[in-house]
């Protein structure tokens, strides 16, 4: 129980600290949120969005799962993304992976880990897409690092393939999507330089136009 209670005691100390700095802190926060960022990160306990970006509660809307995946049939991810993009109207969506990611590492080998193997399959697909580049890297740690980066890049691209992001771009030229990798060894974030706010670089097959409902409405109006 001691371990468990330490969290609740920690909470009390944290509240005290916040109130010492600003007696109105919780009153203000309770009035609403308007974060400018959506963070899609790994569940790994060592990569907490706020701490590593020196931000505060209220600054970042967060979704985390094993290996920071953007799976377009994941209702959890899609709900968070839709809410962040269309209701909160965030300006940036950031996929942040991290070197040393256990999920990515597990996807590189052929062991069974249980249910999670089904999740890791999405990461194995990334390996297959980039197997020529990855197989050519003989140093295993370097290959692992690059796999982490390529996985982030693919998740950023997967974001840009969603109707949620493409419709928002059409409506308001926002949000920008980005890919980052965090280093557990240095604490520093590397910006991979994959930034998108339009579909120009996307293979045409993934570009969506106005939805069928809109076409029908326009045709009806024209008739
Ligand atoms: Co991870």
Angle, CA 47 vertex, CA 189 and CA 91 arms, to 5°: 65
Looking up residue 116, the CATH number of its domain turns out to be 3.40.1050.10
* Per annotation, catalytic residue among 22, 46, 56, 217: 46
Give 39 Cα–ligand 1 centroid separation in angstroms: 14
pLDDT value of position 167: 96
Q: Tell me if 146 is assigned to some domain.
A: yes
Centroid of ligand 1 to alpha carbon of 159 (angstroms): 19
Residue 101 is a catalytic residue: yes
Report yes or no on 90 lying in a domain.
yes
Residue 26 domain-assigned (yes or no): no
98 catalytic, yes or no? yes
Query: Which of 63, 101, 145, 178 is labelled catalytic?
Result: 101
Whether 96 is catalytic is no
Is 178 part of the annotated catalytic residue set? no
DSSP 48: -
DSSP secondary structure, 186-213, as one string:
T-PEEE----BSSSTTS-GGG---S-HH
pLDDT at 214: 64
| Annotation says 172 is catalytic | no
By residue range, what is the domain housing residue 180?
33-222
Residue 60 lies in a domain: yes
Is 21 within the bounds of a domain? no
Q: Report CA(182)–ligand 1 centroid distance (Å).
A: 10
| 53-107 tens-digit pLDDT | 999 999 999 999 999 999 999 999 999 999 999 999 999 999 999 999 999 999 9
User: In this predicted model, what pLDDT tens digit does every residue of 141-163 receive, in sequence order?
Assistant: 999 999 999 999 999 999 999 99
Q: What average pLDDT score do residues 174-197 get?
A: 98
Residue 162, in any domain of the structure = yes
On whether residue 6 sits in a domain, the answer given is no
Question: How high is the pLDDT of residue 215?
Answer: 61
Q: Structurally, how many domains does the chain consist of?
A: 1
pTM for the full predicted model: 0.93
Asked whether residue 1 is domain-assigned, the answer is no
Bridge partners, residue 39, by sequence: 62, 94
CA distances (Å), 44 to each of 2, 131, 134, in order? 24, 26, 24
């Amino acid at each position: 129980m001691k371990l468990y209670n330490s969290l609740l005691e920690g909470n009390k100390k944290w509240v005290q600290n916040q109130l010492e700095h600003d007696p109105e802190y919780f009153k203000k926060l309770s009035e609403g949120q308007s974060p400018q960022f959506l963070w899609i990160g790994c569940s790994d306990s060592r990569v907490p969005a706020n701490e590593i970006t020196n931000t505060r509660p209220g600054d970042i809307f967060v979704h985390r799962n094993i290996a920071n995946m953007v799976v377009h049939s994941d209702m959890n991810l899609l709900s968070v993304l839709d809410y962040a993009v269309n209701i909160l109207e965030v300006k940036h969506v950031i996929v942040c992976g991290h070197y040393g990611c256990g999920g990515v590492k597990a996807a590189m080998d052929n062991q069974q880990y249980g249910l999670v193997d089904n999740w890791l399959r999405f990461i194995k697909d990334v390996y297959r897409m980039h197997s020529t580049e990855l197989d050519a890297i003989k140093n295993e740690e370097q290959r692992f690092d690059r796999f982490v980066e390529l996985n982030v890049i693919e998740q950023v691209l997967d974001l840009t393939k969603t109707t949620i992001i493409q419709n928002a771009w059409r409506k308001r030229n926002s949000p920008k999507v980005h890919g980052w990798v965090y280093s557990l060894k240095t604490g520093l974030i590397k910006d991979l330089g994959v930034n998108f706010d339009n579909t120009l670089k996307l293979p045409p097959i993934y570009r969506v136009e106005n939805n069928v409902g809109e076409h029908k409405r326009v045709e009806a109006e024209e008739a």
